[in-house]
Amino acid sequence: MAGEGRVEDYLALLKPRVMSLVVFTAFVGMLVAPGGINPVIGLVAIACIAIGAGASGALNMWYDADIDAVMSRTRNRPIPAGRISREEALAFGMVLSVFSVMLLGLATNWVAGGFLAFTIFFYVVIYTMWLKRSTPQNIVIGGAAGAFPPMVGWAAVTGTLSWESFALFLIIFLWTPPHFWALALYKQGDYGAAGIPMMPNVAGEASTKRQILAYSVVLAVSGLLPVWLGMSGWIYGAVAAITGLSFVWLAVRLWRAPDGADMRRAARALFTYSLSYLFVLFLGLLTDAVALRLGVI
């Protein structure tokens, strides 16, 4: 029955795990941006970006309730489980979207506010409503939505978008396909049952593994862009080189793994590693930026 949703169910609509990654990458974007921001305004900006990301999650769950009900990973989400109605999720997501964009615009500047609005639009309309169900390139292009937060953080500080902020975008953008395709390789039955055209279901496992490897190589190289652009120093450079090489190594292992249980194990290993890869990479950026500001390096 509608109206039975617990507070926890509404929090689950915000996809807190995705939100934590968004908060972290946006925070790093703010910290590596040249110039400074009042700590209180910075805190409000981070909260707005987090709520905007949560609102996108709620709108995504509103639209995807039918396919979420089919997949084992998502069937216990609040809407398919019947604890929150689709209308409630839609209203919740819309209200939070408007509030987060308006507050970010007022607190920082309208480049950041406008870009947050565009990010929400991109994730909900371009990815969720359009690409997700129509093309195996869904997460390649849709991944851009998850890559925008550090640019929003950067814009909150500088009021502009620059090549340096684009480098942060590019890292997350290129990370998304190998991350999700590795997941799809060992969960492909789920996506197939839900009728989502993920790469393994459409192009086959061999092609997916080749594409994962190709993206991993480009990702490892792109990971070094902040060093080349002079945004960060040797601490980040070392982290990016080591973690990038490890990423490629796991992608090679997956590429060479025979089909069946070995392949699923290798895919799972790459998926798990890819989660920590992005976290460690941005932690490297953060460490570098803090060390630079403190005059340690």
Partner 1 sequence: MASENAARLADNGMTPEQEAAFRRQRRRRSIALALALAAFALTFYVLTIVKMGPALFDRAL
> Which residues of the shown chain bind partner 1 in the complex (CB under 8 A)?
3-7, 10, 38, 40-41, 44, 47, 99, 103, 106-107
Between residues 95 and 229, which has the closer beta carbon with respect to partner 1? 95
Residue 157's nearest CA partner among 292, 29, 291 is 29
Query: Rounded CA gap, 250 and 241, in Å?
Result: 14
Between residues 69 and 102, which has the closer beta carbon with respect to partner 1? 102
Residue 215's nearest CA partner among 110, 133, 139 is 139
Instruction: Quote the least distance from Cβ 7 to partner 1, whole Å.
Output: 5
Between residues 106 and 245, which has the closer beta carbon with respect to partner 1? 106
Instruction: Quote the least distance from Cβ 108 to partner 1, whole Å.
Output: 10
Instruction: Quote the least distance from Cβ 148 to partner 1, whole Å.
Output: 23
Between residues 78 and 142, which has the closer beta carbon with respect to partner 1? 78
Between residues 104 and 227, which has the closer beta carbon with respect to partner 1? 104
**Cα distances (angstroms) measured from residue 250 to each of 202, 206, 213:** 23, 15, 9
202 CB burial (10 A radius; 0-12, 13-18, 19+) = middle
CA 157 to chain centre: 21
Instruction: Quote the least distance from Cβ 101 to partner 1, whole Å.
Output: 14
Instruction: Quote the least distance from Cβ 10 to partner 1, whole Å.
Output: 8
Residues 6+ apart with CB under 8 A from 86: 62, 65, 79
**Cα distances (angstroms) measured from residue 235 to each of 39, 129, 164:** 25, 41, 18
Between residues 51 and 235, which has the closer beta carbon with respect to partner 1? 51
Instruction: Quote the least distance from Cβ 40 to partner 1, whole Å.
Output: 5
